[in-house]
Amino acid sequence: MKKIGILTSGGDAPGMNAAVRSVVRTAVSLGIEVVGIRKGYNGLIEGDFIPLDSRSVSDIINRGGTFLFTARSPKFKTEEGMARAIANCKEEGIEGIVVMGGDGSFRGALDLSNRGIPCVGIPCTIDNDIASTEYTIGFDTALNTAVEMIDRIRDTAQSHDRCSVVEVMGRNAGYIALYTGIAVGATAILIPEVRPDITSVISKIKKTQKNGKKHFIVILAEGVGGIKDIAEKIERETGIVTKTTILGHVQRGGAPTLRDRLIATKMGYKAVHLLNQGVGNRVVCMRGGDIVDEDITTALEMRKPFDFDLIKIAEEVSI
């Protein structure tokens, strides 16, 4: 390989920059040129390319977001968009691409690989909802941010003997809610993987009230929805003043944690070595703590097993 491209796609995740840095510097060490493709697949269609060298990625390991910008590109899914993307790769001499994003972005990487541009995916999303990997870049930073914010909410809930219902991100997945809920000592955690049962949340609050508990935190995954109704029902049926907070995009920003920087660096290194060996159509994954790779089609067909034991633990320690 003489020249590779790199793009970030879908929702940004803290640690993407650290992964870009690792890709660029690993490639430079191997004598491979690197082209940054801006704004995800849109940049590939529009030929929005910038040359990257070791110095172009200085001072980004500690920055959230993605300095290459990101986008969702409906046009890339069309025949015309795909044809333009491939023509631009050929014209620029891009022989392989590292794609950072989630399953949607990997579908695009599969299409490109099938049309002669080998791609390697790196899993990046705060949701940790990619089945082929135990870990996705950004998850740890998002969790730590959410925990810090909810600890602050706890201070005021405790001072006023209130209940706080806090919505965390996760449109389709409850990992952020479950992990955060355990770490902040939530009384109840509502996630899309388990049918939400507000009645049992209310009876738990009442039961623990009898135990002497005076303030409560309920964590709600975005995918469950209905925060206002839930809070009103809790207040009506328990008599406890109940406030709501939607954490939102604060969870997506900020300096990546050590874990995200380290895993991003390892995954970036792995991706470039795969491409350099002429291996494409793969996603980099973490399995048993090791960094390995998987065929994209196989990866996309996998289903992530949910850790129901963790739900049980959360239930039992929040009495």
Query: Which of ligand ADP, ligand F6P, none has residue 104 at its interface (CB below 5 to 8 Å by kind)?
Result: ligand ADP
Cβ-proximal residues to 195 (8 Å cutoff; 6+ apart), any chain: none
Is residue 11 near ligand F6P by the rule CB under 6 A?
yes
Nearest approach, Cβ of residue 173 and ligand F6P (Å): 8
> Is 307 labeled as catalytic in the residue annotation?
no
Nearest approach, Cβ of residue 313 and ligand F6P (Å): 23
Residue number with CB closer to ligand ADP (62 or 114)? 114
Residue number with CB closer to ligand F6P (70 or 164)? 70
Give long-range contacts, CB 8 A cutoff, 24+ apart: 88-91: 88/44, 88/45, 88/46, 88/47, 88/49, 89/5, 89/44, 89/117, 91/47
Applying CB under 6 A, among 5, 10, 15, 170 the residue interacting with ligand ADP is: 10
CA dist 306 and 173 (Å) reads 9
Residue 62 DSSP SS3: coil
Task: Write each residue from 145 to 174 as x if it is in contact with ligand ADP (CB under 6 A), else as -, in one continuous string.
Answer: ------------------------------
Cβ-proximal residues to 178 (8 Å cutoff; 6+ apart), any chain: 189, 191, 307, 310, 311, 314
Residue number with CB closer to ligand ADP (3 or 107)? 107
Is residue 174 near ligand F6P by the rule CB under 6 A?
no
| CB hemisphere CA count around 229 (13 angstroms) | 7
Nearest approach, Cβ of residue 38 and ligand F6P (Å): 18
Nearest approach, Cβ of residue 81 and ligand ADP (Å): 8
- Edge-to-edge strand list for the sheet holding 163-168: 188-190, 216-221, 163-168, 242-246
Other beta carbons within 10 Å of 144: 19
Query: Which of ligand ADP, ligand F6P, none has residue 123 at its interface (CB below 5 to 8 Å by kind)?
Result: none
Helices (H) and strands (E) in the chain, counts: 11, 11
Is residue 206 near ligand ADP by the rule CB under 6 A?
no
Find the catalytic residue in 12, 103, 111, 127.
127
Specify the DSSP element, H or E, that contains 295.
strand 290-295
Using CB under 6 A, which residues numbered 97 to 126 contact ligand ADP? 101-105, 107-108, 111, 125
Chain residues binding ligand ADP by CB under 6 A are 9-11, 41, 72-73, 76-77, 101-105, 107-108, 111, 125
Annotated catalytic residues are 127
